[in-house]
Amino acid sequence: MSIRFDGRVAIVTGAGNGLGRCHALGLAERGAKVVVNDLGGDRDGSGASSDAAKAVVAEIEAMGGEAIANGADVTNYAQVEAMVKEAKDKWGRVDILVNNAGVLRDKSFSKVELEDFDFVLGVHLDGAVNCTKAVWPLMRDQNYGRIVMTTSSSGLYGNFGQTNYGAAKMGVIGLMNTLVLEGGKYGIRVNALSPCAATRMTEDLMPENLLDLLKPESVTPALLYLVGEEGPNRTIITAGAGTYARTIINETAGMWLPEDEQTPEKIAENWDTISDAKTQKEYTSGNDQTQNMLTKAAEGLNIKLQ
């Protein structure tokens, strides 16, 4: 099976450097027309320049592909709307959105300024919301869409000094989970990529001898799989150094306690059963959790669920 994107139009945010550049090139190489979006700021989000985006467009055109550069700030919804309109006016549709734009302002929680906390949340989470909101009507109308959020181990598991970044990166998972439910009947699939790569975002965080293993080029194949026509839905893929894995959020079956035993002491007494990993299950909506709780309560009380 060959995964191709001929006739598809993709928007990749933060595509002037690093992972975004690799994603844009990978999509174009397989036939997609690409909007190379990049504000052109520094790693912390300061400054702006269109040079990086234009350079990626030149690379795509040199390989015989089609692309346009766009400098929209993903935190500015009016600019994002204009970017989407430009893509539609030029190519008639938008099929793929890769929410990749990001910044870092790392400090321990006791030292981080709330302004920096909000700024990082704004770029990663609000930026993903803005771009997704802008393409959503198009994708609904054409009954087709592939959207990828960029999450991180910092959100899924935590990393010291990255409370702002981690909060944003877990936030996009919540966004993904609900968009999957709302977009399903319109042919829209929403997934998340958790990359580990050597880019200007990570160059100060890892030993130099390991950075050579973490090429952005080894992450992009996972992105291309996620946005393929037969790609998955509601899936988190981790990718780095040539290793690919799926992250799954599970919940144990739990244990029902009668009303007179619903105390913290009884929870402590039964904690091994409550937290038994052998009973873990992946839920696909919040209703699954509610159903599990009500089923257990009904069984314990010997009543029938209607």
**CA torsion 132→133→139→145, rounded to 10°?**
20
Report in angstroms the alpha-carbon separations of 179 from 72, 127, 148. 23, 15, 11
Cα–Cα nearest to 33, from 74, 79, 94, 82: 94
Kindly indicate the confidence band of residue 201, based on its pLDDT and cuts at 50, 70 and 90: low
Q: How far apart are CA 303 and CA 243, in angstroms?
A: 49
Q: Which residues contact 204 (CB under 8 A, 6 or more apart)?
A: none
Check pLDDT > 70 for residue 202: no
- Using the predicted structure, report yes or no on whether residue 121 has a pLDDT greater than 90: yes
The closest of 10, 7, 5 to 148, measured between CA atoms, is 10
Lowest mean pLDDT among 90-104, 198-212, 292-306: 198-212
Which pLDDT belongs to residue 44?
A: 52
Annotated catalytic, 165? Answer: yes
Question: Which stretches of the chain are DSSP H helices?
Answer: 18-29, 51-62, 77-91, 114-121, 127-142, 153-156, 163-183, 208-211, 220-226, 264-269, 271-274, 286-301
Residues 6+ away with beta carbon under 8 Å from 214:
196, 197, 198, 202, 206, 240, 241
Rounded CA-CA distance 223/98 in Å is 8
Most confident option among 47-61, 79-93, 203-217: 79-93
Residue 74 pLDDT > 60? yes
- pLDDT tens per residue across span 287-296: 999 999 999 9
Q: Which two tokens stand for residue 164?
A: 């702002």
Instruction: Give the pLDDT of residue 1.
Output: 83
Torsion-angle region of 242 (φ positive above 0: left; ψ -120 to 50: alpha; else: beta): left
Q: Is the dihedral of CA 62, 149, 37, 198 positive or negative?
A: negative
**pLDDT band, residue 211 (cuts 50/70/90):** confident
Sheet with 33-37, side-by-side order of all strands = 67-70, 33-37, 9-12, 96-99, 145-150, 188-195, 236-240, 243-247
| 288: Cβ contacts below 8 Å, ≥ 6 apart | none
Query: If we measure between CA atoms, which residue out of 193, 288, 273, 202 comes closest to residue 232?
Result: 193
Sequence-distant (6+) residues with CB within 8 A of 176 are 149, 190, 191, 192, 234
The model carries a pTM of: 0.94
Q: With b meaning 16 or more CB within 10 Å and e meaning fewer, what string describes 5-37?
A: beebbbbbbbbbbbbbbbbbbbbbbbebbbbbb
Q: What is the DSSP letter of 107?
A: B
Q: Of 77, 144, 157, 165, which one is the catalytic site residue?
A: 165
Q: What is the pLDDT of residues 133-151, one digit of tens each?
A: 999 999 999 999 999 999 9
Helix or strand run (H / E) with residue 96: strand 96-99
Q: What are phi and psi of 210, to 5 degrees?
A: -90, -25
Residue in 303, 253, 257, 241 with CA at minimum distance from that of residue 281: 253
